[in-house]
Amino acid sequence: MNKQLHLGAFMRPVGIHTGWWRVPGAYPDANFNLKHLVSFIQKLEAARFDAFFMADHLAVLNMPVEALRRSGTVTSFEPMTLLSALSMVTERIGLVATGSTTFDAPYHVARRFASLDHLSNGRSGWNIVTTSNPDAALNFGLTEHVEHDERYRRAREFYEVVTGLWDSWADDAWLRDQESGIFFDTEKMHTLNHKGGHLSARGPLNIARPVQGWPVIVQAGASEAGRQFAAETAEAIFTSQRTIEEGRSFCKDIRERMKAAGRSPDQVRILPGALVIVGKTSDEAKRKKAQLDSLVHPESGVPNLSIRLGTDASKFDLDGPLPDIPQSNASQSGRDATVALAKRENLTVRQLAQIAGGHSGLQFVGSVTEVADTMQEWLETEASDGFTIQFPTVPAGLDDFVTLLVPELQRRGIFRREYEGTTLRDHLGLKRPANRFFP
């Protein structure tokens, strides 16, 4: 059997490129329009996507107002509220949302994702993030952001508490015996009583064990601390490698770390984010890309570059090379990838800002055959297990992907024609975790 691609759809924001909302025919209010979002997820489910993935922001983006006013991602629905609604108009597609370990409590996160898993009959996934935006701290009573590695230490304990709370009940604890009057078996309820370095939670969770045992654990960190955390916990990784060589190196590193941590390396799916612009011909796709890039306003470039670097890029010589950028308390993997891009392509700060103002991540731009060839090469050379697809615009970019590209991937036998099961774990080929307290 051929290897099979796994495809998630990155849907918050609905367009990752800065200019997406300005393309003629785009839905500029799509992030905050339920009717549009319902149509998107139903198209993705009909195309047999693994999951609908919602990132989250806990603050307005930290950039000058001149750039912020041009951002198409300032407002959007709270992810868990939206996914609960979308679970009612879908049957199979997975529902993945971000939940912060820095600015939330484990009991809240455990309840929300367990609830979504029951509402959706086993389709939820928790994207664990430590939150890199320093402005988020100001919205949660802090005057400065928590230090990077300290955020990951808290996240590791947070994961243990949440998964422990999901295991509060044996699967068969609920008797609901009307004749005897016994609702549940007290011998099959576990009280966690966690008291750790960062967190404490008594438990038990007041929701039955999730349909999937645990919602699928998704992680996106690529720093040293992030990779180790992913190797110890993640079942799907949303990552940002830009070349096949980088992808193969990342996959190999994660799976070696998993072995060292005592985990089976076949129990993770590595899904780099990829902006896909596909056309009936290569020239058509390139014209779409040129149009998209032309809609990036100069005011957006340097502030977006500052966010990626974790430092104020407005002080740099725009026509000179990128100076040495020290690590900051923001996203270290974002900074590393941007610095590597500047060095690899010998870019000036001005050129790098133009890219950052549009989209500086992995991009597949070409005809149906060209894009399918590239995706197949990533899969077959073990550079990824699939992709988290970022659409250039909606609805057109999403429609192009599902009507042009998906049939070609199916024809090649590298993407499903029907779902293999009913849960997100089924789609991803992941085992249901055992209950640590009730074998």
pLDDT tens digits along 148-183:
888 889 999 999 999 999 999 999 999 999 999 999
pLDDT tens digits along 371-423:
999 999 999 999 999 999 999 999 999 999 999 999 999 999 999 999 999 99
Domain ranges (residues) in the chain? 6-277+362-428
247 pLDDT higher than 90: yes
75 pLDDT higher than 90: no
Average pLDDT over every residue of 24-33 = 96
Query: Strand pairing partners for 97?
Result: 54, 126
CB 393 within 8 A of CB 15: yes
Give the predicted TM-score (pTM) of the model: 0.89
- Ranges of beta strands (E only) in 208-295 are 216-219, 236-237, 269-270, 273-279
Question: Fold for domain 6-277+362-428?
Answer: TIM Barrel (3.20.20)
366: left (phi over 0), alpha (psi -120 to 50) or beta: left
pLDDT tens digits along 100-131:
998 899 999 999 999 999 999 999 999 999 88
Average pLDDT over every residue of 311-332 = 82
Give the DSSP letter string of 372-392: HHHHHHHHHTTS-SEEEEE-S
Q: What's the whole-number average pLDDT of the chain?
A: 92
Of 93-97, 144-148, 236-240, 384-388, give the lowest mean pLDDT range: 144-148
222 pLDDT higher than 90: no
* SS3 at position 52: strand
* Predicted local distance difference test score (pLDDT) of residue 1: 52
Both structure tokens of 328: 């900051």
200's enclosing H/E stretch is strand 200-201
Residues 221 and 149: their CA atoms lie apart, in Å, by 11
Residues 100 and 434: their CA atoms lie apart, in Å, by 25
CB 183 within 8 A of CB 189: no
Q: How confident is the model at residue 311 (pLDDT cuts 50, 70, 90)?
A: confident
* Predicted local distance difference test score (pLDDT) of residue 76: 86
* Predicted local distance difference test score (pLDDT) of residue 437: 98
- Residue with structure tokens 């996240």? 155
State the maximum Cα–Cα separation within the chain, in Å, rounded to a whole number: 80
125's enclosing H/E stretch is strand 124-129
